[in-house]
Chain A
């Protein structure tokens, strides 16, 4: 059974720093991996989707990488801002077909002004 782990569970950094969030998964036979952001009491907002054949995706100050063989993905946030404070979750999709995702439990990020 696929397991997704996100370390650390919580992170607090000063504004302006570049930071990396980690996501690891146990079964490398994935179809894609998606990073989400969740604000308190809200739904999840999709940030980046990486297909299994891709190595990375970029959107603005965010860059996500995927190393399928080692079961790892990272989300890099450049020049962090207080508005980046949220919980970040990664999720992997199992194989093809109308199947669900396996989510990590997230990294709670606080950017100190």
Chain B
């Protein structure tokens, strides 16, 4: 079965901290995505990657960066966490334009 694993289910951080969210997929997918999900706003794309070391900005990249050094791993970095980055973060992967598979999500609280 397809598996996308996010390293933490719940995370609590302080304002100004550097935060790393990790995502690993075991399906050899080219594409990987980071979304955030907020009540009333739905899912919004932060960044996506279509190959190792390749990345594209999504709709809301401000305050975030990403890293993809290996095909199976896509990391989301909050350089200096702020309270408005409190959210559910969802990682996903797919082959080219195929079916999207999601991880179980990380609920991040920034205090």
Nearest-CB distance from B37 to chain A (Å)? 9
Decide: A103 near B43, CB < 8 A? Known: A49-B99, A93-B97, A98-B31: yes
| Residues in B whose Cβ lies below 8 Å from that of A100 | 33, 45, 48, 58
- Contact indicator B102/A34 (Cβ below 8 Å): no
C-alpha spacing A52/B41, complex, angstroms: 26
Q: Is B100 in contact with A91, judged by CB distance below 8 angstroms?
A: yes
In this complex, which of A89, A93, A98 has the most chain B Cβ atoms within 10 angstroms of its Cβ? Answer: A98
Contacts A41-B105, A43-B105, A100-B48; is A105 near B42 (CB within 8 Å)?
A: yes
What separation, in Å, do the CA atoms of A89 and B4 have in the docked complex? 19
Q: Which residues of A contact B45 (CB under 8 A)?
A: 100-101
- Is the contact region of chain B dominated by helix, strand, or loop, or is it mixed? strand
Chain A interface residue bracket vs B:
20 to 34
Interface residues of A in 86-113 (CB under 8 A from B): 89, 91, 93, 96-101, 103-106
Chain A residues, Cβ within 8 Å of B103:
43
Say whether A46 contacts B99, CB under 8 Å.
yes
Knowing A43-B90, A98-B31, A98-B48, say if A104 contacts B101 (CB, 8 Å).
no
**Which of A49, A97, A104 is within 8 Å of B98, CB to CB?**
A49
Which among A31, A100, A106 has the greatest number of chain B C-beta atoms within 10 A?
A100
In the bound assembly, the distance between CA atoms of A98 and B56 in angstroms comes to 9
- B30 interfacial contact with A, CB 8 Å: yes
Structural contact, A34 and B56, CB atoms closer than 8 A = no
B50 contacts chain A at the CB level, 8 A cutoff: yes
B104 in complex: contacting residue of A43, A89, A93, A96, CB < 8 Å: A43
Query: What's the nearest-Cβ distance from chain A to residue B67, in Å?
Result: 17
Whether the Cβ atoms of B102 and A44 lie closer than 8 Å is yes
